[in-house]
Structure 1
């Protein structure tokens, strides 16, 4: 019997478990650890609450989770409750699938000012992550600036722009919905260092901005390259640029009747945040593209900013005793191998890139590495050994059956039309298990 520990219960973790089952059938025992009492990681806390169809992938993970040789081990902080080295002593292979839950630093003068957030915190706030539930962003100003040209920037913009009716069917947490409905934001500026041809926004997500009831997105036609240049783009980016062209063609008379402005500011690099105690404006330098890079032109201007959300990427959280690549913001690894018997997968391996589905071949790839490195079944204690350790340390393990009780409680407390109302406090999650 092979014993595998997977640290992280998001997409990369469950795809890795699925791959291990296909590789070894019943001759493998898999424990999936998570620091929270609830599974699914990025799906629960990163995917936008109004994208419920994407969250449906958890049904596939549940099939894996309910298998006889897979166990969810929630409420265990690896690196605190148990070290990676200790897990390596208990399991034949340890796979780190912890994702990239930290924001890439904005690293600008004034980034310490109030009402300046990274997307990990802001998205975690409206998605009910216990670490960010008490964030309390102030939405009483007039202008919000969203820095970034990827899908997360689109998510943040869309969430700030929607009406209560547009959140029907979503699982946005109640405290965030109430705050958003009290917002006085009148203008949202999406700030990008480069131009329309360099955006990382996908067509579906970008197209959603064109269907907001309170706003019609604005693109300056002068920022758009010649139409003939679109032919050189990859098909997905070409479709996204087509959306930008359609936004640029929206008549101003149509926008005049709408209470909210959403505008793209291309070729605009943030250089500093301005304010006293709380952000009031952002200093921006106009850029031009040289060899695909944004280069400053020396032309500066300021944008009023009562709220700033930086959506410029994520980093993996280091774990004591595990080699870490600070520059890349992920575990130091060679195609998934970190140390003998220690591996990483997903964003923890390659950084925050690709879609949810990208993690499936990644999971199968790391299991192939383990199969190469471990052609014979190991002799480590695995699950029984960890259970003995947990009993000795009085660790309170949350199982998948326990999670299902939490899920039932969240569904029971949902507002009308919502699939659930998430618990945002770990203590409340634990108490729901015993109800």
Structure 2
């Protein structure tokens, strides 16, 4: 018997689940993704100037090359195939599509022109086909980034990067042109809580002190000299170097460089100002009570023409999947008989890329424990017949390799690749290969 497994989503969580399952010769894995290109947020979420992080895809290539793993691209869950149909075809279905939407800000005015969620904005500068036509207006003087995590730092950093700083990146052409031509002078990073509670990583923080044409500034009185003495030791080890970088920004002032990144802690957004377009944001000064941000009633208006919310992602609703709190409702990865989830679909948008590996390994072990060596379902053969009947254009990993090679070949000097940002352009490459 062969255990037939479908994994929906070919990002890190999906590949790590495939890696764990494919070690067993009796398992056949189909990695199904709605795009012709695999790797999920490695391709469309990791900042384009963080190429070292993207090298993890070499490991995924090894998994895809296994005889019992198959990539089935350009197949959209809900449009081309349903959850009930997949459960009929496969012994196990593992949801690994992650989060594909932005958590709303929940303040008046967030529907104004010039307000974006980070999922969309990051997708735009990374060349995700869904966001190629986003076209944010960057002919602006001031932008506000809401959030105190690494995505917020990515968005702020890229808004002030020079073309020279990005020459080794794979930023999408249209995004790079808009950013390099932008006259933006001030970028504000808002956090409800303080610098000690911020979720910045040290590598990303150090970059904020090394901007070619920008300077990072803080309110000196917001940055403590030391961490709280009662902080968990493990947490303190990660937060201390970040605090040291923030302390190094003391004394920096606007006007010392062409562009300024303002770290604004203890600020809670309450209203987005303007008519149809964004003209500013009203924030309330906060204070911490039991580590929670409590409003003080003092309001501050920050003029801006662009707002990017970086406060988290939510998984999309899919018929046949029980959802709870923005994730698939599950117990340690089990959703129902033969139905599982991993990664962000399982636990929400938390952790690093590497966090997905042990998580996926645990769920893969549960699949093997629950289902043994399979129940004789048709698996990929049945899927192929169904998709052929529906005239769905399917792409393989060889097709992705052709797209990959073409992107690398058309790269500008020094850049790793020049991305194709529409599905028709990707498929045209496959047709010519």
TM-score over 0.5 (shorter chain)? yes
Matched residue, 2:15: 14
**Shift, 1:412, TM fit:** 1.8
Matched residue, 2:268: 269
- Structure 1 residues 80 and 228 mapped into 2: Cα distance closer, same or farther (>3 Å)? closer
Moved >3 Å (runs of 4+): 230-233
- In the aligned structure 2, how far is the partner of 1:137 from the partner of 1:395? 32
Q: Does residue 1:119 correspond to 2:121, yes or no?
A: no
**Shift, 1:230, TM fit:** 6.5
- In the aligned structure 1, how far is the partner of 2:69 from the partner of 2:14? 11
- Structure 1 residues 228 and 275 mapped into 2: Cα distance closer, same or farther (>3 Å)? closer
- In the aligned structure 1, how far is the partner of 2:295 from the partner of 2:160? 30
**Shift, 1:226, TM fit:** 4.3
**Shift, 1:377, TM fit:** 2.5
Residues 195 and 265, structure 2, Cα contact 8 Å, conserved in 1? yes
- In the aligned structure 2, how far is the partner of 1:180 from the partner of 1:228? 36
Residues 215 and 261, structure 1, Cα contact 8 Å, conserved in 2? yes
Matched residue, 1:110: 109
* TM-score, reference length from structure 2: 0.97
- In the aligned structure 2, how far is the partner of 1:231 from the partner of 1:238? 13
Gaps of 5+ in 1: none
Matched residue, 1:391: 388
Matched residue, 1:142: 141
* TM-score, reference length from structure 1: 0.96
Between 386-395 and 296-305, the greater mean CA deviation after superposition:
386-395
- In the aligned structure 2, how far is the partner of 1:215 from the partner of 1:245? 17
- Structure 1 residues 159 and 134 mapped into 2: Cα distance closer, same or farther (>3 Å)? same
Q: Does residue 1:364 correspond to 2:393, yes or no?
A: no
Structure 2 matches for 1:203-214, cutoff 5 A? 203-214=202-213
**Shift, 1:337, TM fit:** 0.8
Matched residue, 2:321: 322
Describe the SS at the equivalent of 2:421.
coil
Matched residue, 2:240: 238
RMSD: 1.2
Matched residue, 2:186: 187
Q: Does residue 1:351 correspond to 2:348, yes or no?
A: yes
- In the aligned structure 1, how far is the partner of 2:203 from the partner of 2:132? 28
**Shift, 1:224, TM fit:** 1.7
- Structure 1 residues 230 and 414 mapped into 2: Cα distance closer, same or farther (>3 Å)? farther
- In the aligned structure 2, how far is the partner of 1:399 from the partner of 1:228? 51
2:426 aligned residue (419, 423, 429): 429
- In the aligned structure 1, how far is the partner of 2:141 from the partner of 2:127? 25
Describe the SS at the equivalent of 1:154.
helix
Matched residue, 1:416: 413
**Shift, 1:383, TM fit:** 1.2
Matched residue, 1:223: 222
Residues 190 and 262, structure 1, Cα contact 8 Å, conserved in 2? yes
Gaps of 5+ in 2: none
Residues 112 and 275, structure 2, Cα contact 8 Å, conserved in 1? yes
- In the aligned structure 1, how far is the partner of 2:380 from the partner of 2:38? 19
Q: Does residue 1:199 correspond to 2:198, yes or no?
A: yes
- In the aligned structure 2, how far is the partner of 1:297 from the partner of 1:342? 47
- In the aligned structure 1, how far is the partner of 2:127 from the partner of 2:348? 24
Between 365-374 and 269-278, the greater mean CA deviation after superposition:
365-374
Residues 3 and 372, structure 2, Cα contact 8 Å, conserved in 1? no
**Shift, 1:109, TM fit:** 0.2
Describe the SS at the equivalent of 1:166.
coil
Matched residue, 2:79: 80
Q: Does residue 1:248 correspond to 2:250, yes or no?
A: yes
Q: Does residue 1:99 correspond to 2:98, yes or no?
A: yes
